Each structure stands twice: as C-alpha cells, then as structure tokens.
C-alpha cells in the first residue's frame, strides 16, 4: 500500500510539473516573440545592443521595439564611417560626401515583401471627422518622410536644395481629395496617398493620421520632393535617345521635356521631340500640354487636355486633342512600287464621360461603378495620294462617333520587389468590362463600329499576380465586317521565392493581335527589343509575342550597391492573318544583364543588358549591348478612358 501511495504521489507531482511547464510555455508564447540572429549580426534596443557570436535565438517581450543589423550592413556602416572621417580632412571632399552619400534611406522599404491592401492602416479611423490638414514639404536632399526632422548638414547639399525649387504648398494641397470637415474614408485616403506618390515631382509621400478626440482626427501630409532636373539616356548600338527634363518647372508641378533621337537604320538618322505639360490646372485634375516632334520623316505638333477618372469617386472625366501631322510615305515591303508621297492631315478629338455608383451604399466605398462616355474623332487630309472608293482607304476623310458603357471595379495592394528594388509599388486589382459602338461617316461610305474588351487582375495566393485582357472589335459595312481586330494578352509575376539569401521572381507576358479584313497598307510590326530589331523590315496582319524573365535580388551589398541579376528570352512571330500563326516567321532573342541601385546615392537604377539574336530581320545575327536608366514599370489599371477601337498594334 505504501509503495502504491508513493507511486501515486510521484505521478501527481509529474502531472503538476508538466502542467506548470505547459502553462509557462503558453505564457511565453503569448508574451514573447522569437527572434533568430545569424552569426555576426547585432540586435539594437532603445538603450542596449546584443551581438550574436554564433547563430542563436532570442525571446523578447512582445511589442519591444528593436532593429537588426546584419554582418554585411555593419561592414557597410563601418566603410561609410571611415569614408566620412577621411572626407573631413578636406573641405571639398567633405561637401562631396554630404551631397552624394545619403545614409539611412528611411523612405524606402528594402529587402522586404509587402502585399497588403492600401486602405488597411486607415480603416480604424473610418467615419471620424477630419479636424485639420497640415502639409509638411521636405527638400530633395537629405530628408525622409519617416523622419521629418532629418536634414542635410552639407553646404553642397543645402546648395542643391537651394537650386531646386521646392514644390509650392498650394500645389500639394491642390492634389488632395480629402477636405477639412469631411468624414475620413480609408479607401479615399489610401487613394490620395497613392496619387501623391505617383506625381512625377514627388519622390515619396506619407499621410499620418492622429486621433485628437473620440470622433475627430488630424491629418499630416508629408511629401519629399524629387530633384526634378535630370538626363535620361537610353543608348543602343543602332538606335536610342537622350532626354533632358524638368519634372517640376519652377515649383508649379509642370513638366518640360526635350528629347533627342537617333536611328542609324532610318533615312532620317536624328530626331527631336519637345513638350511642355501643365498638371492639375486650377486644382481640377485637368492636365494639358503642347508638343512638337520631328523624327524619322514625321513632323507633328499639337495641343491636348485630359481629365481621367483619377479615383473611384471621380464623377466626370473627359478631354480633347488637336494635332497636325506631316509625313513622307515611302515604298514598303507590302507595296514596293509605291511612289513617294507627302501626307498631311489634321486630327480633332473630344470625349466626355460620367461615372455612377450602382447603389447609394457604395458611394463611399471602392465598389462597382457604371461609366457612360462618348467621343468624337475627326481625320481630315490636306495632302495625300490619289484616293477612290476602292483605293487607299486608309487615307479617306472620316468622322467617327463612339459611345461606351463600362463596369469598373478597382482597388490596390501595396507591394515591393516587383519592378523596383524596394520602393512602394501600387498593385491594382479588379476588373473592367467595356462595350463600344457608334457610326463612322466616311468619304465614300458609312459604317458602324462594334467592340468589347474585358480585363481582370488579382493576386493569387499560390501563384503571384495575374492580369489578362481580351477584346474584339470591327466595323460593319453593309453585310461585310472590315478593319476588325482581336487582342489577347496575359501579364503575370510570381510570388517572391527564397533560396538561401537570394530572392527572385519570374515575369511572363504574352500578347496576340489578329487583324481581319484590314485595309491595304495597314500593318503591325515586330516588337522592338534592345533598340536594334529593325522592326519596319518585318510586318504583317497578325502577331504573337511573348517574354519570360527571371529577376534575382541578390544579397550583394557592396558598400551600399544592391545588385539584381536577370535573364530573359523573348520571341516574336509575325505574318499574314490568312495563315496559322505558328507557320509564320519568328524571331528569338535571349539575354541577361544586371540592375544596380545604391540607396545611399542620389542616383537611382542603372541597367546593363546584353542580348543575342540568332536571326535579325535583315537576315543577320547579332550580339547587342545596351546601357540605360530604368523606368519603374506600372501594372495596367482598371480605369475606363475615352471610347476607342480595339487597338490593332
């Protein structure tokens, strides 16, 4: 009996100990975060730091603020500290250091993957009254939207900020949709931040919300200017351009651009285009501009104005354009016996649209909207080749009237490491369905246009992001269908994959265009790749093009220089619509390159590219090198614009 009591006592003791340990474990899980540190890294707290001399794991209380410096980051910091000490030995080198080296680029999101809805951080303020809206404008050099007290100590940096004209506050305020006294709408506020961030003269924007009472909030709009004057090269071995621009002319948010072109395979080797653009005239979100170009036997000048459905709350959109073109028509592959002709024509274009919410409850939400729009487009030739009812139809005078109905639903995720190295990127998701119809009065006949397009895109949990578009349109002339086009396209990128310290994405796109009963002289050309593909040598009435690219975001951080490697293949198949597409001519290209960015420097991303083409349109093969500044690509949005035909291009 005594032995039995002892065994029972021991069992109860073990049970109590086990229960206590489990409870303590649950407490630890509830109250602590687990942090993994690699050898050589340092975790920084408010008043102390811990260095990991081997791979280890720490438990720290939840909500404790900390940051981690990796071994490579520490070396980079030591390098810049050493460089700063050496630069201070000479006044000139000291000022150059302060101008070119911008430590702690806090307004970029580096090496992280963010995929969250844009409105999420503002949702818990929904319905609260906006009491005040303040604007904080930051200079281009040495500042951060995440630390508004940060500024440059450099004389040269200050001189650069003095040269740069800071965007006027009224320009920033004129781009706000939210007003004092409004009830906060998280969707609208997120859209406003996105619009501010997309302005060509703003480097970054952040909206801070502060709760002042249980029913009211204050807004602080923080913007950091982009140094607006720059040179953008796009240099290829046979073709390229160089642009000199000012994206914020005298601080009013207007744009000035001068661009020089060269094409050694064109009869006119050099060209020019100049443009001045007025943005957000009188706070109406109307943009207008004037331009002139003379390049490759085409001279063109014109004026335009446009207002888009910039947000889901925008009720009205519209615009107009007037242009004059002078061209030189030359013999082509499809018509080698054509005589050289001068071609002059005027284009006049007007459109207007209105957006309607489909229910009263959806007026304050990013929800489905119905859009009605109409357009008038006139083409009038003043000089052209001989025309008749059956010849040179593409040069007939015409007046086109189009009406469109559309259903649009759109919103945005915030993401990064897609097309950029870490800056916030807006990823649209939703769909757009459009039906377009209307009469065209031509010089020798009248006809009616019918067309539709459907596009949709969204994040897919186990795949990435997928966007697709399909459309068909054409003119009915009596019982005959003419000038018709079919388009299909897919654009996608994968989730971010990890292999050790490397991160990579795959990108894929495919585009197909088919022309049906197109007029004589209408053609589509091969996609230009690496600026050397002499696309005018190959033309047809149907085309299939696709490209696959893998981008590797490497862990290389050579004194602040971040490197992404990429490899790609692309293929273009082009030919007659009367034949099966895969029996036509095809052109393959393979290549690789690297993109380099240093967040510590005021300069941005550069791209070095090498590509090999086994067969070019001229029958030769080619290895091509190119150097260019890289634009940040943007995904196709679901905004309904002016009524238009399904594009044959």
Whether the predicted pLDDT of 12 surpasses 50: no
Closest listed residue to residue 340, CA positions, set 330, 354, 326: 330
Question: CA 142, 201, 423 angle in degrees (round to 5)?
Answer: 65
186-222 per-position pLDDT tens digit? 888 988 998 998 898 888 888 999 988 888 999 999 9
* Torsion, CA 535, CA 536, CA 541, CA 546, rounded to 10: 0
Kindly write down the DSSP assignment for every residue of 260-325, as one continuous string: EEEETTSSS-EEEEEEEEE-SGGGS--EEEEEEEEETTEEEEEEEEEE---STT--EEEEEEEEEE
**SS3 category, 97:** helix
Pairing between β-strand 341-357 and β-strand 56-61 as defined by DSSP bridges: unpaired
Closest listed residue to residue 209, CA positions, set 317, 122, 127: 122
Q: For tokens 């238009």, name the residue.
A: 644
Between 77-86, 118-127, 233-242, 252-261, the lowest mean confidence (pLDDT) is in: 77-86
This prediction's pTM: 0.74
Whether the predicted pLDDT of 108 surpasses 50: no
Residue 15 has a pLDDT of 38
- Starting at the earlier edge strand, list the strands of the sheet with 67-69: 49-51, 42-44, 67-69
- Confidence bin at 25 (pLDDT 50/70/90): very low
Closest listed residue to residue 325, CA positions, set 355, 347, 340, 295: 347
Q: Quick one: DSSP state of residue 164?
A: S
CA distance 408 to 369: 5
Give the pLDDT mean for 283-296: 93
371-418 per-position pLDDT tens digit? 999 999 999 999 988 889 988 888 999 999 999 999 998 888 877 777
Record the tokens describing residue 520, joined without a space: 């004589």
CB crowding 65-101: b at 16 or more within 10 Å, else e: eeeebbebeeebeeebeeeeeebeeeeeebbebbbbb
Q: Quick one: DSSP state of residue 238?
A: S
Closest listed residue to residue 238, CA positions, set 276, 266, 264: 264
Tell me if 566 sits within 8 A of 553, measured CB to CB. no
Class of residue 157 by CB neighbours under 10 A (exposed 0-12, middle 13-18, buried 19+): buried
Q: How many CB atoms lie within 10 A of CB 45?
A: 12
- Confidence bin at 250 (pLDDT 50/70/90): confident
pLDDT cut 70: percent of the chain above it? 74
Question: E strands of 358-424, at which residues?
Answer: 369-383, 398-415
Most confident of 104-118, 363-377, 445-459: 445-459
129-143 per-position pLDDT tens digit? 999 999 999 888 777
Q: For tokens 């940040």, name the residue.
A: 632
Whether the predicted pLDDT of 119 surpasses 50: yes
- Confidence bin at 488 (pLDDT 50/70/90): very high
Q: How many CB atoms lie within 10 A of CB 518?
A: 21
CA distance 188 to 226: 24
**SS3 category, 99:** helix
Whether the predicted pLDDT of 24 surpasses 60: no
Residue 336 has a pLDDT of 57
Residue 111 has a pLDDT of 40
Record the tokens describing residue 341, joined without a space: 């002709």
Q: Report H helices in 139-250.
A: 155-163, 169-173, 186-198
Whether the predicted pLDDT of 321 surpasses 60: yes
Closest listed residue to residue 604, CA positions, set 423, 414, 417, 425: 423
pLDDT cut 90: percent of the chain above it? 34
Whether the predicted pLDDT of 264 surpasses 70: yes
Q: How many CB atoms lie within 10 A of CB 262?
A: 18
Whether the predicted pLDDT of 149 surpasses 60: yes
Topology (CATH) of 116-225:
Ubiquitin-like (UB roll) (3.10.20)
**Dihedral over Cα of 555, 556, 557, 561: its sign:** negative
Tell me if 638 sits within 8 A of 431, measured CB to CB. yes
Closest listed residue to residue 314, CA positions, set 643, 641, 644: 641
Q: For tokens 């490491």, name the residue.
A: 417
Record the tokens describing residue 149, joined without a space: 């007290």
Mean pLDDT of the chain: 80
CA distance 379 to 346: 6
- Confidence bin at 107 (pLDDT 50/70/90): very low
Give the pLDDT mean for 429-452: 95
Tell me if 166 sits within 8 A of 179, measured CB to CB. no
CATH of domain 308-629: 2.40.160
Residue 77 has a pLDDT of 64
Residue 260 has a pLDDT of 93
Whether the predicted pLDDT of 10 surpasses 50: no
Between 47-61, 259-273, 576-590, the lowest mean confidence (pLDDT) is in: 47-61
Domain residue ranges in the chain: 2-69, 116-225, 308-629
**SS3 category, 123:** helix
**SS3 category, 14:** helix
- Confidence bin at 46 (pLDDT 50/70/90): low
**SS3 category, 534:** coil
CA distance 329 to 343: 7
Tell me if 548 sits within 8 A of 508, measured CB to CB. yes
Residue 112 has a pLDDT of 44
Residue 612's contacts (CB-CB under 8 Å, 6 or more residues apart) are 589, 590, 591, 621, 622, 623, 624
Report how far apart, in Å, the C-alpha atoms of 438 and of each of 441, 443, 478, 479 are: 10, 17, 14, 16
Element (H, E) at 126: none
Class of residue 7 by CB neighbours under 10 A (exposed 0-12, middle 13-18, buried 19+): exposed
Residue 619 has a pLDDT of 67
Tell me if 391 sits within 8 A of 366, measured CB to CB. no
608-646 per-position pLDDT tens digit? 888 888 877 666 677 877 777 665 566 788 889 999 999
**Dihedral over Cα of 24, 25, 29, 35: its sign:** positive
Closest listed residue to residue 421, CA positions, set 70, 108, 141: 108
Give the pLDDT mean for 250-266: 89
Residue 76 has a pLDDT of 61
Residue 329 has a pLDDT of 77
- Confidence bin at 87 (pLDDT 50/70/90): low
Question: CA 119, 122, 127 angle in degrees (round to 5)?
Answer: 110
Whether the predicted pLDDT of 542 surpasses 70: yes
The phi and psi torsions of 216 (rounded to 5 degrees) equal: -145, 155
Record the tokens describing residue 110, joined without a space: 């580096």
Whether the predicted pLDDT of 263 surpasses 80: yes
């Amino acid at each position: 009996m005594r032995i039995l009591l002892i065994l029972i006592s021991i069992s109860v003791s073990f049970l109590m100990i086990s229960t206590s340990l489990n409870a303590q474990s649950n407490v630890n899980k509830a109250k602590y975060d687990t942090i993994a540190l690699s050898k050589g890294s340092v975790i920084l707290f408010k008043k102390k730091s811990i260095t990991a001399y081997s791979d280890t794991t720490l438990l720290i209380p939840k909500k404790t603020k900390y940051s981690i410096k990796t071994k490579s980051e520490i070396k980079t910091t030591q390098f810049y500290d050493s460089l700063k000490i050496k630069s201070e030995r000479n006044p000139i080198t000291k000022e150059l250091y302060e101008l070119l080296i911008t430590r702690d680029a806090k307004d970029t999101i580096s090496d992280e993957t963010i995929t969250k809805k844009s409105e999420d951080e503002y949702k818990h303020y929904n319905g609260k009254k906006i009491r005040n809206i303040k604007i904080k404008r930051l200079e281009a050099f040495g500042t951060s939207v995440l630390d508004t007290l940060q500024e440059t100590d450099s004389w040269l940096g200050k001189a650069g900020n003095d040269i740069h004209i800071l965007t006027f506050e009224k320009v920033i305020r004129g781009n706000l949709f939210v007003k004092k006294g409004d009830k906060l709408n998280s969707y609208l506020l997120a859209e406003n931040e996105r619009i501010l961030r997309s302005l060509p003269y703003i480097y970054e924007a952040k909206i801070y919300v502060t709760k002042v009472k249980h029913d009211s909030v204050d807004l602080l709009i923080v913007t950091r200017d982009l140094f607006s004057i720059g040179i953008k090269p796009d240099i290829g071995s046979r073709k390229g351009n160089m642009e000199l621009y000012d994206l914020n002319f005298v601080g009013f948010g207007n744009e000035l651009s001068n661009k020089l072109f060269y094409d050694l395979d064109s009869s006119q080797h050099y060209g020019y285009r100049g443009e001045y653009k007025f943005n957000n005239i009188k706070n109406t979100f109307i943009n207008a501009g004037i331009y002139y170009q003379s390049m490759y036997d085409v001279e063109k000048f014109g004026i335009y104005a446009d207002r888009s459905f910039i947000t889901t709350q925008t009720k009205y959109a519209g615009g107009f354009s007037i242009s004059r073109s002078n061209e030189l028509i030359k013999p082509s592959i499809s018509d080698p016996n054509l005589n050289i002709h001068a071609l002059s024509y005027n284009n006049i274009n007007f459109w207007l649209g209105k957006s309607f919410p489909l229910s009263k409850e959806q007026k304050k939400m990013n929800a489905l909207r119905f859009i009605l729009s109409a357009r008038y487009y006139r083409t009038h030739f003043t000089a052209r080749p001989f025309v008749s009812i059956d010849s040179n139809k593409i040069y007939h005078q015409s007046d086109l009237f189009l009406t469109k109905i559309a259903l649009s639903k759109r919103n945005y995720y915030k993401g990064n490491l897609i097309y950029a190295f870490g800056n916030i990127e807006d990823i649209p998701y939703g769909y757009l369905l459009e039906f377009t119809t209307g009469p065209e009065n031509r010089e020798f006949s009248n006809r009616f246009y019918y067309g539709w397009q459907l596009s949709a895109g969204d994040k897919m949990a186990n795949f990435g992001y997928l966007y697709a578009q399909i459309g068909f349109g054409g003119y009915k002339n009596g019982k005959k269908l003419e000038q018709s086009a079919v388009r299909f396209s897919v654009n996608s990128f994968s989730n971010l994959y990890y292999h050790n310290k490397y991160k990579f994405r795959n990108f894929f796109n495919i585009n197909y265009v088919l022309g049906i009963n197109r007029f004589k002289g209408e053609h589509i050309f091969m996609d230009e790749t690496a600026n050397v593909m002499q696309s005018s040598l190959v033309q047809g009435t149907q085309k299939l093009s696709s490209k696959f690219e893998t981008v590797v975001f490497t862990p290389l951080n050579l004194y602040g220089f971040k490197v992404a490697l990429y490899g790609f293949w692309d293929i273009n198949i082009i030919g007659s619509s009367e034949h099966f597409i895969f029996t036509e001519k095809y052109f393959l290209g393979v290549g690789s390159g690297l993109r380099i960015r240093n967040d510590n420097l005021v300069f941005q991303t550069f791209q070095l590219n090498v590509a090999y083409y086994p067969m070019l349109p001229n029958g030769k093969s080619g290895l091509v090198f190119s150097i260019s500044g890289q634009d940040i690509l943007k995904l196709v949005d679901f905004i309904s614009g002016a009524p238009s035909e399904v594009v044959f291009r």
